[in-house]
Structure 1
Amino acid sequence: MITPDTIQIDDLTFEILIDSKTLHKRIEELGKQISRDYEGKIPIMIGVLNGAAIFLADIIR
């Protein structure tokens, strides 16, 4: 059954735990925190899990 807090992909139904607006805001906050913590340095970021490239692209911006 589909509700406002779920999404269906093919025959699978997933519960939305964090909405996209909240997630994007937190990623932006993390990026700013990393920028402050590593100011003047060149951090190396490595994505390990599936989908990490998209997350890293957002964080690096």
Structure 2
Amino acid sequence: MAKVVNYISDAFTELKSNVTWTTWAEVQRYTIIVAIFTVVLSLATWGVDTLFADALAGFFNLLNS
């Protein structure tokens, strides 16, 4: 059990002293970039899905005619 406590203590020490944290402004900027990219990628996926659905519907309508 002492090993586990020592490991957790060392992990917190590492986070406090050796990790370089980004500034709040950078976090906000990156969050906005990720949100915009997510919306654009979602719209592109929706568009391709709609295109293929319409193409398949047209193809099966040709087969049924």
Q: Normalising by structure 2, what TM-score?
A: 0.37
| Higher Rg of the two aligned structures | 2
More helix by share: 2
* Larger RCO (CA under 8 A, 6+ residues apart): 1
TM-score, scaled relative to structure 1: 0.39
> Which has the larger share of strand?
1
